[in-house]
Amino acid sequence: MAAVALGFTAVAMCGTVAARAEQSESTDKSATYCRLRVHGGILAKYVRVGSDKGKLGCPLGIEQRAAGGGRMQQFDGGSIYWSQATGAHAVSGRILDLWQGSRGEAGCIGYPTDDESVTPDRRGHYQHFQHGTIWRWNDGKVSAVC
């Protein structure tokens, strides 16, 4: 287990999370938002989080390949990553910054397995990944374990 700090406070905790499989939508399904196409499993997630009217806003580019056969697409307010093992999940803000700084899906923490959630004590937010968790605390600190 290696703590990932990247200039932020690191926390040492066990961080293995079981991946939750979500079927990707057929890749032939697509829609245009803000003049750019969104496809398949990424489209299904994008629609569920409010599409261009939600927190992610408009696509910034087209869908791209990601490590290990996955896919990703960037939006104004974050990115959606999809893999066969984990399905599609949005990653944004300081959690996205720390995750990408530690090589994102190609790094030790892997793909996201859920979306960002509020901690039970409401002192921050967290997001689970294949091999760990990233926390964003209300005081501005971000921490990750993989």
pLDDT tens, position by position, 35-56? 999 999 999 999 999 999 999 9
Residue 27 has pLDDT above 90, yes or no: no
C-alpha angle 86-130-3 in degrees, rounded to nearest 5: 155
Indicate if the pLDDT at residue 18 is higher than 50. Answer: no
For residue 9, the SS3 value is coil
- Whole-model pTM: value is 0.80
DSSP string, 80-142: EEEETTTEEEEE-HHHHHHHHHTTGGGSTT-SB-S--EE-TTSSEEEEEETTEEEEEETTS-E
Does residue 26 register a pLDDT over 50?
no
Judged by phi (left if over 0) then psi (alpha if -120 to 50, else beta), residue 45 lies in alpha
What whole-number percentage of the chain has pLDDT above 70? 81
What pLDDT, on a 0 to 100 scale, did the predictor assign at position 1?
A: 41
Contact residues for 131 (Cβ-Cβ < 8 A; gap 6+): 15, 16, 17, 108, 109, 110, 146
Q: Is the dihedral angle over the CA atoms 61, 87, 30, 116 positive or is it negative?
A: negative
